[in-house]
Every structure is written in C-alpha cells, then in structure tokens.
Structure 1
Amino acid sequence: MHVIVVGAGEVGTNIASALEADHDVVVVDRDADRVESITYTLDVLAIRGDGTSIDVLEQAGLEEADMVIGSTDGDETNVVVCGAAKTVDDPFTIARVKKTDLLRTWERSEEAFGVDFMVCTDLETAQTVVDIASLPDARDVDSFANGLVRMAELEIDPESPVAGETVAEADRFESLTFAAIIRDDDVIVPKGETVIEANDDVVVIGSVESVRAFAASLTPTPTLEEADEIVIVGGSEIGYQTARLFESDGLEPRLVERDHDRARELAERLPRTLVLESDATDIDFLVREHVDESDIVVAALDSDEKNLLVSLLAKRIGVERTIGIVEAGEYVDLFETVGIDVAVNPRLVTAEEITRFTRERRTENLAILEHDRAEVLEIEVDRDSLLFGNRIRNVTSQLPDGVVIGAVTRDGELITPRGETVLELGDHVVVFVDTDVLDEVAAAL
C-alpha cells in the first residue's frame, strides 16, 4: 500500500514507523530538520514541502496513493490535505484534529471536507484516561469485539497478592487469559509455572467482568464505580471531555480551573461536575478542599511540568492514584518514574488510532503496548487464514514464540480459548503479538 503522511511531528513519525516495514510510505513536512531526521531514522521517503499543495502531493505519489493521512498540528491544514487529495484521486483519507466541534460537524455531514475518517486527539485522550481510571492499577486498557473483550496492562505492586505466585496460581478467574508479562525491557509469554514478580506489568485479556475482578483483586484501590471522589485539574478541552465522559458513566467529578471565564463556561456545560475556580498548584487549596481524600486525580493542565507538579502535590497529600497528560512523548517514562502513576501522551494515543486503519481489512482493532514492544490485534477469521478450521493448539504450534490467543468471540458470544477450541469462519480472535514477530504472524493469520 502506498501511504502519504503529511506532518513529520510525533504523530506522523509514529505512524510512519508503524508502517515502514509493510508499506511504501512517503512523509511530507515543511520543516527541513524534521525531514532530515526522519530520513536517517526510518526507511521512508521524506519530502520537504507544503502538504496542502497539489504539486507536492503529486511529487509524493498521490496518483498511486491508497491512503493520505493529515497529521500536522493544524486541524485546518489536515482537512485541506484530505480535500486536496480527493480532487486528484480517491485515496482513503484520515485527518487528525483537536477541535471536537470539527469532529461533530464531520460526523453529521457524510464525507464532509473530503475526509473518510477523522480522529479527534482530545476526545481520544479523554476516553483513554477514563478507560485507565476504570481499572485499579491499570497502565493501559482497550476493548475489542464490540466491547465483549477487554485487554488490560496492570502493574503488580510488591504488596499485591499475586506477587510471587505462578500464573497457574494467579489464574482464579473465568474467561481470563494471561497474555504477557512485561519485565524491565523484556516481553515474556507466560506459562503456568511462570512466576509473577513485584513491579511486573501483566497483560490480561478476557471478559469485561473477569478483567475487572482480576484488577480489583490486586489492590485495595477502589474501582471507578466505587470511587468516592475524582478530581480533574485543568479545564482544557481534554479536562472538559474527561469530565463529560465521567458524567456519562454516572459519576460526579470535581474540576479545578484557574481562569474565571473558562470556569464559568465549564460550570454551565457540565451539570453534574462541581467546578472550582482556583490554582491547583496551591497545596493549601488542595488540603482545604480535601483533595487528599480523592481516589483519582487527573492532571490536564496546559503544560507537562504543571501536570507533574500537580501529581507530585497530590501524592504528597495522600491521593491514591494520579493520571497525567504528557504532551512530550520522551517524558512519559520519566514522569511515571518520578511522580505520575500513569502518563497519557495524546500524540501516541492518536497515532495508535490512526495506525489501526492501515492494517489489513481483517484486522478490526489494534492496541499498541509499551511504546511498540507488543500489539494486541483483533482479527476476523477468513478462509485464507491459518486460524480457519484449526484447533488453537495446532495454530500456536505453527506460530513463533511471542504469540498468545487471548479471546474468541462467535456470534456475539465470548469463548474462552483452550487448546482444543476449533476456530470457525467469521470468528473474531484477539491475539497478543510481540512486535519482533509481528510481520510473520500477520502474514499467517
């Protein structure tokens, strides 16, 4: 597939990196330094130029392009890129935007702006925050098979009851598969005798109920349904969307916003959220408003440094769990090390959502774990697949190490995969794959 990516920032670079092995990728950017950097780091063609220009798009191979992705930091630029591409040919077009109003307009106007698919960074980020908040100690959460299957990456604290247990001993829940253990820089496909160690990250796949029950068993931290207090710091669009999504789940969060006009606007738009006008970096305010009694604090201010500071202050006064927005991808690991329990990078969230649309048509959904160390794929079984008509034990024996079939759904019903399970045409199979063997596995499945 010939793919043109306009924008060589963090989103565009992550998309190009995910596609370079299997597709003919051309990246367009106006910044000479970015073009030079991507030329030397990725196996793609990088062109300096304005992606809204037909001449530049034609230089990038527009006439043979199967997909054009607008991934710059400008909403309007990305929409114009898609519209310009449609005037010459009919590639599949994807636009990255931040404005939710633009997304709503596109959703209500079929094929508006020449955009086939639109990804709203702020909304995707807010949804990721809410999904992570829904499970205690979750570092990543995703849903598959129309919500029947849940994947979660969970951190194992030293005090966790499963720390020191084997996988067989920890496997006390129906419809749950231990897909992987991430330990330091290693991805381990666990066997029954594999010992779960403190500070491991465990990836589990199963029914929503079983994953929630397993997560709850690891820690006394309350689930989202049990949370007495959720505080969102920052009335940014991400902060607003996060509060709105919490409200839609029946919760009543508090939101702290320093700007008077913005606080007033949010109070009018969020009927079930208590909006407080104050500076959340003031520890006296946090204590006075009993933020220390909160179960979850979400830091959604306008800078990474402020989000780190708020998280550190929240931890200091006794908040159980902090989730922070971190715009700079290179800071994610650092911030999680020094103060934020889970750092969510909007650009990585967006890149993952866009990358999902570049997979083969049978790949229904995709989750990228630990900064591309592993992926979880949802695949529909067709007649050309190794999966079709085969028992799971026969399938796994023909695949390389680093693959786990985590769940199967058939006609809207969840099937816990076992060695003797026979896979049928039209089944949806959720598969954990180590990135090192992804290409081989994708070709076979």
Structure 2
Amino acid sequence: MNIIIIGAGLVGSSLAEELSEDNDVVLIDTDYDLCNKLDNRLDVKVINGNGANIDVLNEAKVNEADFVICTTNNNELNILLSIIARSFGAKKTIARVKDVEYTSLFMNKKRSTSIDAIINPEIITAYKIIQLLFIPNSKNFTLLASDLIGFFEITLSKDNDFVGKAIKDCIFPKYTIIATIGRKDQIMVPTGDDVLHEGDKLILMGKRDNIFEIIKNMGLFDLKKILIIGGGTVGFYLAKYLEESHIDVKLIEKNEQRCELIASKLNNTIVINGDGTDLDLLKQENAFDYDVIISVTDNDETNLISSLLIKKMGAKKAIVRTNKYSYTNLYKILDIDFDVSPKLETIRAIKFYITTEFNSIVNINNNVEVVDFIANETMPIVKDKLKDLKLPARMIVGAIIRKGQIIIPRGSDKINAGDEVIIFTNIDEFEQVKKFIKG
C-alpha cells in the first residue's frame, strides 16, 4: 500500500518505521532537523514541508495514497489535513484527535465522510486500562476491532453445566460464541456437534461490554474499590465506566474547576479536590484500603510518586499512565504492575486499522488463526445468509463490524460488502478458508 504520514513525532516516526516493511511510506514534517535525522535512519521517503501545502502533497503523490495518517500534535490541524488529503484523492484518512468533542463530531459519518477513522489516545488508553483491570493476564484476554469486541479464555470444571453437552445444545450469554476449544495439547475451531469435556479451555468471543459483564458474573473479577489519581479525559472515562459496573470509585483531581465539572457528570464517584502525592490526604482518604490505584495525570512524576506511595500503604495493584516513552523501562524495575502509554496505544490502534483485504491478526498456540478482512461484492460470502452458505467445517464467523456497530452473527445474519469480518479457523485449513472467502 501507499501510505503518507503527516507528523514525524514518536507516533508518526514509529508508524513509518513499522509500516515500511511491507508498504511504500512517505513521512512529512515541518521540522528540518528531525526530517534529516529520520531520512538517515528510516527506509522511507521523508519530505520536509507543510502537509497542507499543495506542492508537498503532490510530491508525496497524495492522489495515489491508500492511507493518509495525520499524527501532528494539533487536533484541528490533523482534522484539516485529513479533509485536504481526501479532497486531493487519498482513498482513506486517519486523524489522531485528543479532543473528545471533535472525536464525537467526526465519528458521526452522517456529518463527515472526509475522515475514515478518528483515533483518540485518551479514550483508547482508558479502555486499555479497563482491559487490564478485568483480565490482567493479557494472554487470556484480547480486544479486537478498535477495542469494540474481545475474547477471553475459561477452563471448564467438572461441575460446569456445559460439560457433556454438544455446543449446539448449550445456551450462551447474549452476543457471545465459542471461538475455539483447547483440549489436551490441541486447539480446534468447533462445530455445533462437538461435545464439551471437563478441562476444556474455551475461548469465548463477544461484544466488549458483554464480555466484561460475563467476566464479572463468572466471578473472574473481584475488585471492589478503585482509586483514580487525575481527572482528565482518561480518569473521567475510567470513573464513568467503573461506576456503571457497580464498583466503588474515588477520584482525586488537583484542579478545583475540573473537579466541579466531572463531579457534575458522574453519578456515584466520589470526587476529591487535592494533590495525589499529598501523603496526609492519601491517609485521610484511606488510600491503603483500595484494591487498585490508577494514576493517569499528565505528569509522569506525579503518576509514579502517587502510585508508589499508595502501594507502600497497602494497595494491591498500581496502574500508571506513561507519557514519556523513556520511562517505560523504569516502571519495570519499580513496584508498578502495569504502565499504559497513550502514544503506544495510538500506534497499535492505527496499525490495526490499516489491514489488508485478508489479514491474519492473531495466532493461537500455532493451531488457530484469527483472521480479519473487509468483504467486497465479488466475494461469494456476501450473497446469502450464513446458514445457507456451505462454510468450511472448521471456520467460524466470530464478528461482523458494520458502520461502527458490532454484530455477533447467527445463522440468519448476512455479510454485506464493506463489512469488516473476523473469523476463526484451524491453521491447517487456513488456505482452504482463504480460497473459499475470496471465491
């Protein structure tokens, strides 16, 4: 693919480096010294100039671009650059936008068709932390499709109601399916006739919010009290989601005006105006009594100090926001359980969005492929309902993403051209499934 990246900071340059392995990449930035440095280090075409300039865009061949990715530090500029790039012939555009109001506005495609994807680092960071809270072992929990769907692993005990039943006779939670079965040393994509055994490891897949609810209902989530330091966008979205999940949440924010604003928008979260590094305040608020401390201010030093203080006081777990990439290694040697970087999460989200027509995104124990593709009108699978298609035996359609909405399909559902589809298949049948889908 031909990819243009405008903005050569950490996000832009990292994307350019990773995407250049399989794509033709052009990197544009106004910083002359930075461009020279990256031109010597990266195997991409580097242009020193303004991404909104017609001559610069023509030099980058914007009319031939499959993607234009705008990653400058200016929200408005990224939006403007995306609109300009589309008007000059770019097929798709992606903009990094931190402002929540802009995100909401441009995610509504009825209002704008100039930007195909808005990546908000603050919101995806909040969801990443939620993921770590619910299932801290990332091997057992993964979010896909821009964090809209997820899958996780459970092991069937002998007293589980599913043991001894065929899958077609089991009643699963709404919007949830069994994607794979792990039995002894084998992992397989199941059929409806497969009988479940004690000790089977099932990977369940479903809508993100349903998955989180299932995890709680199955007793896999036992956190009751969470303390958040920092009431910015990340802290606010964390508090909002957690209080809706019936978890006791307390939030400490230094800015009094911000405290008043978020307190008016939250229903059950206790909002405290204060400094998250103030030891007297932390003792007064019984910080030691919380299961998890989440420090998500814009200041790395505040995040580190508050987390270490509260863990020393008795908190079980600490999660911090990392704004400086260089601090990541520091957290590993200190008593910090997880660190989450908005920049790295942004890179991950953008890379996920840029998929080929048929792309293997996850391999499970070298037995099962999780495949993501965009359906087009030439594919035979868009013609009929799933129940009327002669699908390969070991192929499961796990999810359909249509205009930002998730469908966990049943037999009566149909795949339309333009849908993003996620399937599971045994690795030894991968090529057969690929041929079936492409026709």
Paired with 1:11 and 1:68, the residues of 2 have a C-alpha distance of 14
Per-residue CA distance 1:230-253 (angstroms, 9 max, x = gap): 111011221112212223434341
Paired with 1:444 and 1:244, the residues of 2 have a C-alpha distance of 44
More deviation in 242-251 or 95-104? 242-251
Label 1:38 to 1:108 Cα distance change in 2 as closer, same or farther (>3 A).
Answer: same
State the AA in 1 paired with 2:143.
D
- Alignment correspondent of 1:100: 100
SS in 2 for 1:322: strand
- The two structures, once aligned, show a CA RMSD in angstroms of 4.4
- Alignment correspondent of 1:358: 354
State the AA in 1 paired with 2:81.
V
Q: How does 1:11-410 map to 2 (within 5 A)?
A: 11-108=11-108, 110=110, 112=112, 114-138=114-138, 141-143=142-144, 150-151=150-151, 205-207=203-205, 223=221, 226-363=222-359, 378-379=372-373
Per-residue CA distance 1:217-241 (angstroms, 9 max, x = gap): 9xx9x72xx3221111011221112
Which consecutive residues of structure 2, in runs of 5 or more, have no partner in the other structure?
A: 155-176, 187-200, 382-389, 401-406, 411-418, 428-433
Per-residue CA distance 1:372-425 (angstroms, 9 max, x = gap): xxx9753579679xxx97676xxxxxxxxxxxx9996799469xxxxxxxxxxx
Paired with 1:128 and 1:376, the residues of 2 have a C-alpha distance of 20
SS in 1 for 2:94: strand
SS in 2 for 1:142: strand
What TM-score comes out, normalization by structure 2 length? Answer: 0.70
Q: Does the 8 Å contact 1:38/1:46 carry over to 2?
A: yes
More deviation in 311-320 or 37-46? 37-46
SS in 2 for 1:281: coil
Q: Does the 8 Å contact 1:32/1:48 carry over to 2?
A: yes
Q: CA deviation at 1:430?
A: 4.5
Q: Does the 8 Å contact 2:298/2:323 carry over to 1?
A: no
SS in 1 for 2:118: strand
State the AA in 1 paired with 2:127.
Q
State the AA in 1 paired with 2:74.
G
Q: Does the 8 Å contact 1:135/1:212 carry over to 2?
A: no
Q: CA deviation at 1:81?
A: 0.8
Q: Does the 8 Å contact 1:152/1:211 carry over to 2?
A: no
Label 1:29 to 1:146 Cα distance change in 2 as closer, same or farther (>3 A).
Answer: closer
Label 1:206 to 1:34 Cα distance change in 2 as closer, same or farther (>3 A).
Answer: farther
Q: CA deviation at 1:90?
A: 4.3
SS in 2 for 1:84: helix
Q: CA deviation at 1:57?
A: 1.4
Paired with 1:32 and 1:279, the residues of 2 have a C-alpha distance of 40
Q: Does the 8 Å contact 1:297/1:311 carry over to 2?
A: yes
Label 1:321 to 1:383 Cα distance change in 2 as closer, same or farther (>3 A).
Answer: farther
SS in 2 for 1:253: strand
SS in 2 for 1:13: helix
Q: Does the 8 Å contact 1:122/1:237 carry over to 2?
A: yes
Q: CA deviation at 1:141?
A: 3.7
Which consecutive residues of structure 1, in runs of 5 or more, have no partner in the other structure?
A: 155-173, 180-189, 193-202, 370-374, 393-404, 415-425, 434-441
Label 1:380 to 1:47 Cα distance change in 2 as closer, same or farther (>3 A).
Answer: closer
* Greater Cα radius of gyration, structure 1 or 2: 2
Q: CA deviation at 1:75?
A: 0.5
SS in 2 for 1:256: strand
Paired with 1:28 and 1:368, the residues of 2 have a C-alpha distance of 34
Paired with 2:361 and 2:133, the residues of 1 have a C-alpha distance of 20
The alignment of Structure 1 onto Structure 2 pairs a total of residues equal to: 368
Q: CA deviation at 1:215?
A: 11
Q: CA deviation at 1:107?
A: 2.9
State the AA in 1 paired with 2:423.
V
State the AA in 1 paired with 2:254.
R
SS in 2 for 1:306: helix
Label 1:24 to 1:204 Cα distance change in 2 as closer, same or farther (>3 A).
Answer: farther
Q: Does the 8 Å contact 2:371/2:422 carry over to 1?
A: no
What TM-score comes out, normalization by structure 1 length? Answer: 0.69
Per-residue CA distance 1:184-205 (angstroms, 9 max, x = gap): xxxxxx957xxxxxxxxxx995
Q: CA deviation at 1:3?
A: 1.0
Paired with 1:93 and 1:145, the residues of 2 have a C-alpha distance of 16
Paired with 2:97 and 2:435, the residues of 1 have a C-alpha distance of 32
Identity rate, percent = 26
Label 1:238 to 1:283 Cα distance change in 2 as closer, same or farther (>3 A).
Answer: same
Label 1:324 to 1:176 Cα distance change in 2 as closer, same or farther (>3 A).
Answer: farther
Q: Does the 8 Å contact 1:7/1:28 carry over to 2?
A: yes
State the AA in 2 paired with 1:284.
D
Per-residue CA distance 1:95-141 (angstroms, 9 max, x = gap): 11000011112134635383222111111111111122112454874
Q: Does the 8 Å contact 1:259/1:277 carry over to 2?
A: yes
- Alignment correspondent of 1:182: none
State the AA in 2 paired with 1:9.
G
Q: CA deviation at 1:177?
A: 6.1
Q: Does the 8 Å contact 2:146/2:353 carry over to 1?
A: no
State the AA in 2 paired with 1:329.
Y
Q: CA deviation at 1:36?
A: 2.9
Per-residue CA distance 1:290-342 (angstroms, 9 max, x = gap): 11111111111121121111221121111111111102233223313313211
Q: CA deviation at 1:38?
A: 2.7
Q: Does the 8 Å contact 1:256/1:277 carry over to 2?
A: yes
More deviation in 331-340 or 131-140? 131-140
Paired with 2:352 and 2:423, the residues of 1 have a C-alpha distance of 16
Per-residue CA distance 1:3-39 (angstroms, 9 max, x = gap): 1100111211232233212211101011233323332
Q: Does the 8 Å contact 1:16/1:44 carry over to 2?
A: yes
Paired with 1:366 and 1:248, the residues of 2 have a C-alpha distance of 31
Paired with 2:4 and 2:112, the residues of 1 have a C-alpha distance of 20
Q: Does the 8 Å contact 2:142/2:150 carry over to 1?
A: yes
Q: Does the 8 Å contact 2:151/2:211 carry over to 1?
A: no
